[in-house]
Structure 1
Amino acid sequence: MAGSTQHGVVIIGAGQAGAQAVVSLRAEGYEGPIRLIGDEAEPPYQRPPLSKKFLAGEIGFDRVELKPAEFYAGAHCELLLGTRAVEINRAEHYVKTSDGRAVPYDKLLIATGSRVREINVPGFDLDGVHYLRTVGDVSEIQAHFKPGAKLVVVGGGYIGLEVAAVARKNGIDVTVLETAERVMARVVDPIVSRFYERIHKEAGVVIRTGVTVAGFEGANNKVERVVSGEGDSFPCDFVVVGVGIIPNVELAQSAGLTVENGIVVDECARTNDPDICAAGDCTNHPSGIYGRRLRLESVQNAIEQGKAAAAALTGKNKPYDQVPWFWSDQYDLKLQIAGLSSGYTQAVTRGDPETGRSFAVFYLKDGVLIAVDAVNRAPEFMMSKTLIAKHAKLDPARLADETINMKEVANA
């Protein structure tokens, strides 16, 4: 499929994976038509900065868009923006869109990403209750950014804590409500949770864990308080809800593709239909490193799967099997996570998370490094990515000893 074909490649989803696929298709030598369908009006852009520098107003859209408009024109990629794909007809090879079009394809890439998980409680539709997923969401939240305003953040994960950090730096009173007994409980060890709780409290954020949200209340259709299931009331001028995301798999499922906690793909991003690939948050792929299937919500996964899918769409095999990595910026702290810590049998700390602002926690499973959480510790993060891929067995005492640099630890 390196040469021109009749209908070419259609990509559903104008996010990180979809944009990467456009770049990689041309890099692979594909010369046929490309059409990119996206339900937002904006061309593909990065989502991670939305809850960080973009929300803070430190950067504009030009710094988050993945490619300028001229790129797509130069790549001969037709952008169908503000358009939602509503049906995939596999038998007749076309995608039906919300505006009634039937977009034909020879090969199809599903990169539909994910959407915010909403909480269905009384008052969920009051003005001032926000989610953060799009540039439009950010604009609505920024309208409340006035010193002294009261914000309640529902959810103590990455998004919630990043929003809390930006809001505090803008002079806003912030309360974070988290259902679990600690923040970021789904992704980090209690050591890291305690550290971030300390940092946010030192910045003036009120953190309440073990709290369920029973509803939102207010007057004149405007939110004024969050009511907990435990009977407490938290006054607010606005709310940001960050309680996770849901993969957008419905389109694939209704088309008869295999879906099990994501669209099931192989190591080359192929689905059970030879003419359809899938990439990004919406997929479930095999990991040779961890010996199981994964559904990942990360930029790195979207980019690398986008590359693998582009190769597969042009008839090539370029398997994707890399150590997953993630990051979070809060205040002056950069948390970098390599690998997946679930199932670890020992956590080894390097540095002082109790009083300092720089440390790393290594997760070992029967002595083998499977993940690291590194706060302002780039060397530990970078070295760990390599060691995890090698299934390196490490001496916990040497890992913890800061007088031994990471290269020496790795070479032991």
Structure 2
Amino acid sequence: MTADTSASSSLTVRLLTAEEWDGWYGKLEIAFGGEQEQPEERALWQELTEIDRSLAVCEGDEIVGGAGAFSFRMSVPGGAVLPTAGVTMVGVLPTHRRRGALTALMRRQLDDVRARGEAIAVLTASEPAIYGRYGYGVGSWRMAVTAPRGRVAVPVPVEAEAPELRLRLADPAGAGPACEELYASLVPRRPGMLERRPGWERLPLLDAPGSRAGHSALQCVLAEERGSGRLLGYARYAVKDAWVNNNAAGSVRVRDVDAVSPQVYAALWSYLLGLDLTERVTAGNRPVDDPLLYLASDPRRLEPRLEDSLFVRLVDVDAALAQRGYATPVDVVLEVTDEFCPWNTGRRRLRSDGPGKGTSCERTDRPAELALDVRALGSAYLGGVTLAALGAAGRVAELREGALADASRAFASDLAPWLPHGF
């Protein structure tokens, strides 16, 4: 049984057809303000769209909104990479808001996610306040950071028996396959990262001229082991030329920096912060615990800004909790409430023997020790928002003394969760 969340009687929700995609996407562009994407961007999103997961809300024969989902696999604490629904392309025409259309879309979509056996749904929110009522909680944050060239140095740490590095400029597309292989090796290390299915390797290379905002074409520098040529790291970036009173004042916009070791990561940032004819370097999406914060010679010169990133929704609480790892042993009874997906409401016992050990999450009649809603549980799921912090905000109630601290330690992640790119 599910909650009654139907749209007004004049609106219906159905699957999209491939022939309708262009008009459907155009309606979504209007819902987001009316600015049309560049042709290259639009073409890629059309290729990546999963038609059998795309929904249209209609009034009669007219499409007035929609929602979609991607079939992702996402890393979770403990290193597992789990099937995850990536909710996307959600919008309703301004003429049809406040009529239950979005709620009907969310109802149909979450029922479909459950039927597919995906225990987790995630999204990035244009307006975070909207999605809390459907059980999504902010599960990861991102950091935008700006560093002044010449005022911040990044010393390269000395590593015993570290390979000698060579930095080499390369065509981003030509270097793409090797960079993708390196990226894939990093996914299990940090929660919240997405495996890139076929076709998604094109997203980090997307470089529509109309979206460059005065920057150069995308550039790519590779960090390779001297002699063998083995790829150890890469950075993708663009440079904007500028002059003030005949002095160079360009800027560097960093898109990606990935590396297999601290030495390589530092070498790439040292390169980016040393580019000639520039005065600042900006990266719009880095983890909140990015090593740059601790590598920088003068962290006060950095200008970090915190932003919400990935919102997490547990569609099957028992399966989701049983499939992630835990930092310490834990045995706790959770009382979970979920108004939108009531099949999750109830009491369950979560038990784990610790890292790499057996875990179970099963319904129980034992007394509850922690009480929380599914939104708070989604926030804590990837380990970037602690249960203790949620408790301090009144989002988790401790019913047994010590249960909150024990569970909070168990849910923690060594590395902060991070979504490397949008969808």
Normalised TM-score (structure 1): 0.24
The structure that is helix-richer by fraction is 2
Pick 1 or 2: higher relative contact order, CA cutoff 8 A, min separation 6: 2
Normalised TM-score (structure 2): 0.23
